[in-house]
Amino acid sequence: MGKVYLVGAGPGDPELITIKGVRCIREADVILYDRLINKELLEYAKPDADLIYCGKLPHYHTMKQETIHHFLVKHAAAGKVVTRLKGGDPFVYGRGGEEAEALVRHGIPFEVIPGITAGIAAPAYAGIPVTHRDYGSTFAFVTGHRRKGEEESLRWESLAKGIDTLAIYMGVSNLPYIQDQLICHGKDPFTPAALVQWGTTRGQVTVTGTLGNLTEIAEKHRIQNPTMILVGPVVALREKLRWFEQSFEPGKMGEMAVAESGGVG
């Protein structure tokens, strides 16, 4: 019997993976990897490792989730070390819990290697702390993309009134709906907001504004997934704390697109 490692690859910057995560890549006989992992991480793999792409796009799945489960079980049952390499953290909107359940059903030993999730890392690279003593002590991870028929299961009033900072994953295509629901349930439309596309990578784009004009800003700058949506007073700190873009040498800023709009940042 082999073993499966469910590994969080981090949000995009290849240096943000854990040491244990790298070890799992190096020791793997089989690596099943997602679309959003940084491909540089595959350079740690053994020359004879079997690399299996499991990437998914909105409305198009290269490999069905059930097929991924099948491969994890099949290779581990054959005595191989299998690393399931997932963007961000495997248990934060990564369906890692479903994969772990499949392994348990088949008696396959496994370990979960946490990773840095984009909901924390993308705002950090944009100069936005998700918590701050003077601006907000509570934050929530929210998926902006739900199974059909479950949209209303989100407790919009609780999110709008009870949480200081919202970090919304996979929400660009539903941004008008998210914006309307938050405002309708009591969120101030002038609440600072930001969109961070391809966070922590050289292609990071950060756009700021307010909740009330966020859809307009996204359309103007053609923001697409993968993008984190941040809503909360902490977004106002970006103007002072935007360290990532400023870390590039003069003359190289053209390599990163940075767009600013709206009344914040």
Residue of 13, 29, 34, 164 marked active site: 34
Percent of the chain with pLDDT over 90: 82
pLDDT at 208 over 90: yes
The mean pLDDT of the chain is 90
DSSP assignment of 234-264 equals GGGGHHHH-HHHHTSPTT-GGGS-----SS-
Q: Per-residue confidence at 238, pLDDT binned at 50, 70, 90?
A: very high
Indicate whether 128 and 234 sit together in one domain. yes
Is residue 30 situated within a structural domain? yes
CB 228 within 8 A of CB 195: yes
- What is the total count of domains within the chain? 2
What is the spatial distance between Cα 90 and Cα 152, in angstroms, rounded to a whole number? 25
Per the annotation, the verdict on 56 as an active-site residue is: yes
Q: Which is catalytic among the residues 3, 13, 164, 170? A: 170
Q: Does 148 lie in the same domain as 97?
A: no
User: What CATH number is attached to the domain comprising 218?
Assistant: 3.30.950.10
Is 77's pLDDT higher than 90?
Answer: yes
Q: Which of 50, 56, 63, 80 is catalytic?
A: 56
- Mean pLDDT, rounded, for 30-36: 95
- 129: cis peptide before it, omega within 30°? no
Task: Judge whether residue 189 has pLDDT over 80.
Answer: yes
Close Cβ partners of 35 (under 8 Å, ≥ 6 residues apart)? 53, 54, 55, 56, 57, 62, 87
Q: What average pLDDT score do residues 93-97 get?
A: 94
Question: What pairing do the DSSP bridges indicate for beta strands 110-113 and 3-8?
Answer: parallel
For the chain, where are the E strands, in sequence order?
A: 3-8, 30-33, 50-53, 56-57, 60-61, 81-86, 110-113, 139-143, 165-169, 192-197, 205-210, 227-231
Whose CA is closest to 161, among 131, 134, 143, 181?
Answer: 181
Please give the pLDDT value at position 246: 75
Q: What is the pLDDT at residue 147?
A: 54
Helix, strand, coil percent values for the chain (each to nearest 5): 35, 20, 40
Instruction: Tell me what pLDDT residue 110 has.
Output: 98
Residues 86 and 207 both lie in one domain: no
Spatial contact of 101 and 6, defined as CB atoms under 8 Å apart: no
129: which 2 tokens? 């702390």
Residues 73, 145, single domain; the answer is no
Whether 190 shows a pLDDT value over 60: the answer reads: yes
The pLDDT of residue 255 is: 34
pLDDT band, very low/low/confident/very high, at 252 (cuts 50, 70, 90): very low
Of 63, 78, 113, the domain-final residue: 113
- Let me know whether 194 and 125 are in one domain: yes
Whether residue 260 is contained in a domain is answered as no
Give the domain-ending residue among 113, 138, 160: 113
> So what's the pLDDT on residue 57?
60
- Annotated catalytic residue 253: no
Whether 262 maps to a domain, the answer reads no
Record the tokens describing residue 116, joined without a space.
Answer: 């840095």
Query: Which of 48-52, 53-57, 85-89, 134-138 shows the lowest mean pLDDT across its residues?
Result: 53-57
Is pLDDT above 80 for 253? no
Alpha carbon separation from 127 to 153, 194, 220 (Å, rounded): 32, 11, 22
pLDDT tens per residue, range 67-76:
999 999 999 9
Is 103 a domain residue?
A: yes
Look at residue 140 and give its three-state secondary structure: strand
What are 2-21's pLDDT values in tens digits?
999 999 999 999 999 999 99
C-beta of residue 104 within 8 angstroms of C-beta of residue 202 = no
**Is 164 annotated as catalytic?**
no
In a shared domain, residues 87 and 132: no
Distance of CA 31 to the CA centre of its chain: 20
Residues 13, 52 within the same domain: yes
Structural domain boundaries, residue 161 = 118-255
CA-based torsion, 205, 200, 156, 238: positive or negative: negative
